[in-house]
Chains A and B, each alone.
Chain A
Amino acid sequence: MRARALPYLLLLPATLFLLVFFVYPFVEIAVLAITRDGSLSLQPLTTMATHWKFGAALGWTLLLAAIVVPIQLAMALSMATIVTKLDRGRSAFLYIFSIPLGLSDLAAGIVWLAIFEQSGFLNSMLHGLGIVDQPVLFLSYQNIWVIFIAIVLAEVWRATAIVMVILVSGMGLIPKEYYEAGEVFGASGWQRFWKITLPLLRPSLQSALILRTLAAFEVFAVVTALGGTTLPVLMGETYNWQFALQDRNVAAAYALVILGISIAATLFFLRVLRVPKGATI
């Protein structure tokens, strides 16, 4: 009897933790989003959906995720492959690649702001090289696409390493025998990558993609640092409604939208990259 109860007992603390710190706040938020002054109301949701910035925030957030995540995936795959191939200096490379992970989002945003600002490094360099006469204003409301590109760069720089770390550990799990067999049958490097590494990497790819995509929907500090309010994103609007506008109901409605997209993205990756039962290594 005791032995049968043990696993559940061991799960109990984690379950309690999840209930108290995840499920309870989630229910609170969901309730907030559909009430106003304690009574049921769709007003927070309609206020959010009809606000003139909502469409832009949703659009920019989705676009950002759609561009950043594939770039990060491609870069992380190549970085992970390089690291796995290395015989010597492997940990040194891993260490250097993952330096940006040690910085907070905001710090990363500020680092890139220091580059793109009117008095920033990029302008000093261009001026020093005689390419421009006076500093160019890169991050202005007139060139919103430049702001967008700067955010993409900052995000890629900051968060590619986390994908790489997951992929490196995933690659470490692939048995050497598959590659040896591939070599024996004359598969080229590319073929081995496409036919062996990628399929067997599926579980790691899945977790890396889910993790990164969720983070991409929650992008905030980097955008705030580089774009201010010029380029609205969902998380920035949530913050704005909660703190600047002091309306937690509408902020909760935004949080629900982010949650909704996140669940949809997670289900998508779970489905697309699912590993059939019995096909695991």
Chain B
Amino acid sequence: MRRSIATLASATLALAITAQAAQAQVLFWSTQAAPVEETQKMREQVLSGFEGGVDFQASETGPFLTRLSAEIQAGSGQIGVVGALHGDLATYADSFVDLSDIDLSGVTVSDAFLELGKLGTDEQKYLPWMQANYVMAANKQALEYLPEGADINALTYDDLIAWAKTMAEETGSPKFGFPAGPQGLKHRFFQGFLLPSYAGSTVTRFRSAEAETAWEKFKELWQYTNPASTNYAFMQEPLLSGDVWVAFDHIARLADAFNQRPDDFVAFPAPSGPAGRAFMPVLAGVAVPTSAPDMEASKALVKYMMQPETQVATLLATNFYPVTDAPLPADLPASARALGPAITAMTTADDALPALLPVGLGDLGGQFNQVYTDTFERIVLGNQPVRDVLDQQADTLRSLMEQAKAPCWLPDVPSEGPCPVE
């Protein structure tokens, strides 16, 4: 009898201890690494080394923002660390604690990124966590159809159209692929690549004559685009299956193709237009909301995320690149070896024109993206007149910018007050 009581007591004690441990875990609330495989890798390979444990939860941006706002409004909550893109974090600048007191001992972070992390204040509102970009990828079979004299590292949109046309005509089926499915990142292409390349602007010159040309060009390209594109989310799959030979996508959504068949694919910069070679760098950061339950643990986790080993592990788990000077191991996966140089070629090109992800839109970010998606669906899929669609969507865009009171960001010229739509 006595023994069974002792067993019971120790079991209860053990339970209590595990419950305590579970409670002490820091909740890492993230919009990044949301695909199930990546979430799993984050938990097993990146965060398992953190003492005290991390409860890593990734979610879609909508539910993510809903919970974050709720906790901030309530003034108390469970979220310990927030991981999200620069544009999402920018909205909550007032609700994040200053992270400048975190001792990064020996880790050097890119100055430009640190400056972005201040979100226009004097405090370090978030620390840069990882970065990514969008590139083009091609099956090596496609290279023989390249237009004469074209340099794959310095293509123009006209070259790309000519290339897609030749491939479609000579192989009998359209081989250019575009992530235009419901989960595809098509809006980023229009915001960060197509429009800036022609109009030198994402918002202000949305309905300019140059923007009209850009959409006409894209319509031309669409003729030689695999019609299944409206179902594509990640371009790595159609590239691997051979349905598509040339594609544009986020590097994290191309990585599998390079990892599975490294010898079959090449990565190269996005094309350039009359206004330059526009591209959209993606920066994710980690921040600590003022409502975090355990400030010490949260800051410890932020510090852990910046360590060289963690940064490399994050690269392996998510295909996002480090933002620190973390030395990269020699045995990097094929995707990192192939995609890295393409990004460098793009960002250091003579005509490079960086276009940032939307800043300061908060929960209107979805509607902002929808303006570009709707424009695409109406002009390209619905065949509506370009001029009319641009005029109508520009009205929507203008009222959104006014509602959000968001000033212009790169590549648009800085504005007093809401970014104007001409």
- Given known contacts A245-B367, A246-B364, A246-B366, is B227 in contact with A228 (CB within 8 Å)? no
Which residues, 245 to 278 on A, are CB-close (under 8 Å) to B? 245-247
B161 adjacent to chain A (CB < 8 Å) = no
Q: Which of A61-69, A124-132, A136-144 contacts B (4 or more CB under 8 A)?
A: A136-144
Q: Which residues of the partner chain B approach A207 to less than 8 Å between Cβ atoms? A: none
**In the complex, how many residues of chain A place their beta carbon closer than 8 angstroms to a beta carbon of chain B?**
20
Q: Are B62 and A243 in contact (CB under 8 A)?
A: yes
Contact B227–A243 (Cβ < 8 Å):
no
| Contact sample, A vs B, 5 pairs, CB 8 Å cutoff | A118-B228, A140-B231, A230-B381, A245-B366, A246-B364
Complex alpha-carbon distance, A141 and B182, angstroms? 12
Interface check B60, CB cutoff 8 A: yes
A244 interface residue per 8 A CB criterion:
yes
| Complex interface: chain B residues within 8 A of A230 (CB) | 230, 381
Q: B residues within 8 A CB of A141? A: 227, 230, 381
Partner-B contacts on A (CB < 8 A): 52-53, 118-119, 134, 137, 139-142, 224, 228-230, 242-247
The reply on B20 being an interface residue by CB < 8 A is no
Asked if A247 and B230 sit within 8 Å, CB to CB, the answer is no
Q: Contact at B374–A52, with CB atoms within 8 Å?
A: yes
9 smallest beta-carbon distances between A and B, as pairs: A243-B62, A246-B363, A228-B182, A245-B366, A245-B367, A244-B366, A141-B230, A140-B227, A229-B182
Q: Is the CB of A243 within 8 A of B63?
A: yes
CB of B220 within 8 Å of the partner chain: no
* Interface membership of B65, Cβ < 8 A: yes
- When distances are taken between beta carbons in the complex, the residues of chain B under 8 Å from A224 are 182
A119 adjacent to B181 (CB under 8 Å): no
B378 part of interface (Cβ distance < 8 Å):
yes
A246 and B67 CA atoms in complex are apart in Å by 13
Count of residues in B whose CB is under 8 Å from the partner chain: 25
Task: State whether B378 touches A228 (Cβ < 8 A).
Answer: no
The total of Cβ contacts below 8 Å across the A-B interface reads 49
A137 with B60: CB separation less than 8 A: no
Chain A interface mostly: loop
The yes or no answer to B370 lying at the interface (CB within 8 A) is: yes
Question: What residues of A have a CB within 8 angstroms of the CB of B63 in the complex?
Answer: 243
| Shortest distance from the beta carbon of A49 to any chain B beta carbon, whole Å | 14
Given the complex, which residues of A lie within 8 Å of B173, measured CB to CB?
A: 134
A134 to B365, CA, bound (A): 40
The residue in chain A whose Cβ has the minimal distance to the Cβ of B378 is A52
Across the two chains, which residue of chain B brings its CB closest to A236? B182
Which A residue's beta carbon lies closest to that of B365?
A246
Whether B230 pairs with A244 at a CB distance below 8 angstroms is no
- Contacts A52-B378, A246-B65, A246-B367; A118 near B227 (Cβ below 8 A): no
Roughly how many angstroms separate A37 CA and B313 CA in the complex, as a whole number?
44
Give bound CA distance, A242 to B63, whole Å. Answer: 10
Q: Is B212 an interface residue, CB under 8 A from the partner?
A: no
Q: Does B4 contact A (CB under 8 A)?
A: no
Residue contact B227 to A137, C-beta cutoff 8 Å: yes
A100 to chain B, nearest CB (A): 24
- Determine which of B228, B374, B381 lies in contact with A137 in the assembled complex, contact meaning CB atoms within 8 Å: B228
- 1/0 contact trace for B362-381 toward A, CB 8 Å? 01111101100010011001
A139 touches B363 (CB 8 A): no
B241 interface residue (CB < 8 Å to A): yes
| Smallest Cβ-Cβ distance to B384: which chain A residue | A52
Nearest CB on A from B40, distance (A): 21
Residues of A within 8 A of B65 (CB): 246
Q: CA of A230 to CA of B381 in the docked complex: distance in angstroms?
A: 9
Distance in angstroms from A221 CB to nearest chain B CB is 13
Task: Report chain A residues within 8 Å CB of B228.
Answer: 118, 137, 140
